[in-house]
Amino acid sequence: MKRILVLIYCVVAYAIFFAILLYAFGFVNDLIVSKSMNSAGHPPFLGALVVDALLLGAFALQHNMMARPVFKAWWTRIVPEPAERSTYLLFSSLALVLVFWQWQPIDGLIWDLQQPIVRVILYTQFASGWLLVVVTTLLIMHFDLRQIWLYVHGTPYTSLRFATPGPAMLLQNPLYVGWLFAFWATPTMTATHFMFAVASTSYMIIAILFEERDLVRLHGGFHEAYGQRAPMILPSEASGVHGSVGPRRRRSLASREESFVNGLPREVPSQSDRQTASR
């Protein structure tokens, strides 16, 4: 009975999260939803800026704090471990609901590009960003629904073998790249949208720093090998997050990475751990 209740709880939490994600799509781009970031209203500039900053700060704090290993170790004493990620998503959804509900528009226009070809290019980049977010999420099993499935069937959880599917072969953070395109690629950048994009980008940079610290502590040389092979954000054949490497060094790192995977098949996590560390 407990397993069924956990399953129902997790399904509801995921359903709420995906509904909020769809609303976020409309919120950022003034599409369909009842209230977007540019909805009518003319609150005082300073007041709106402070409120919006506090809202985004509250989301960033929740999103980062609940992802830290120390917090998760404490939190799983309260909630069942298979429901930990679902609970995290539920709290993230509630934090986003607060952002959508209390968001204050800021008057002003940063740019408004009217050339048809430019608008087509930017809208294409915008759509590609959201598509990259969805595809990457599914490929790296970011939500790890397998954890719930195994728990319901009474099967012990085992970590997935390390893999770099799709865009993860080219860069370490394809999910962040997708969000950057989703937030910045727009032909009409209002002051509100600009503030949201700057704050979100700042949070992603901070999240990457926390994430790198956790991954280096957890996986040491293995993560270094992957970091040398795949850059952090921008694809580059010759360099990664730790600097330029030549062909001989890349072959050495690839061999080192393979030895880690082959030698520690039960200890090496899937690529989804990169996003888990920054959740």
pLDDT of res. 158: 66
Alpha-carbon gap, residue 218 to 214, rounded angstroms: 6
**Three-state SS at 264:** coil
- What string of DSSP letters covers 40-73? S----HHHHHHHHHHHHHHHHHHHHHTTSHHHHH
236 φ, ψ (degrees, to nearest 5): -155, 130
CB 85, CB 147: distance < 8 Å: yes
pLDDT of res. 118: 94
Residues facing residue 243 across a β-bridge = 240
Low-confidence residues in the chain, pLDDT < 50: 237-279
pLDDT of res. 225: 63
Specify the pairing of strand 243-244 against strand 109-112. unpaired
Cα dihedral 34→196→12→71 (10° resolution): -150
Domain boundaries, the chain: 2-278
pTM: 0.72
Write the pLDDT tens digit of every residue in 199-215.
Answer: 999 988 888 777 767 66
Write the pLDDT tens digit of every residue in 17-30.
Answer: 889 988 998 898 88
CB 192, CB 106: distance < 8 Å: yes
Question: What would the two tokens of residue 110 be?
Answer: 């940063």
Cα dihedral 64→68→71→75 (10° resolution): 90
CB 256, CB 155: distance < 8 Å: no
Alpha-carbon gap, residue 190 to 41, rounded angstroms: 14
pLDDT of res. 207: 80
Helix, strand, coil in percent for the chain, rounding step 5: 65, 5, 30
pLDDT of res. 58: 92
pLDDT of res. 34: 85
Question: What would the two tokens of residue 18 be?
Answer: 């995906």
pLDDT of res. 57: 92
Alpha-carbon gap, residue 149 to 95, rounded angstroms: 27
Alpha-carbon gap, residue 279 to 277, rounded angstroms: 6
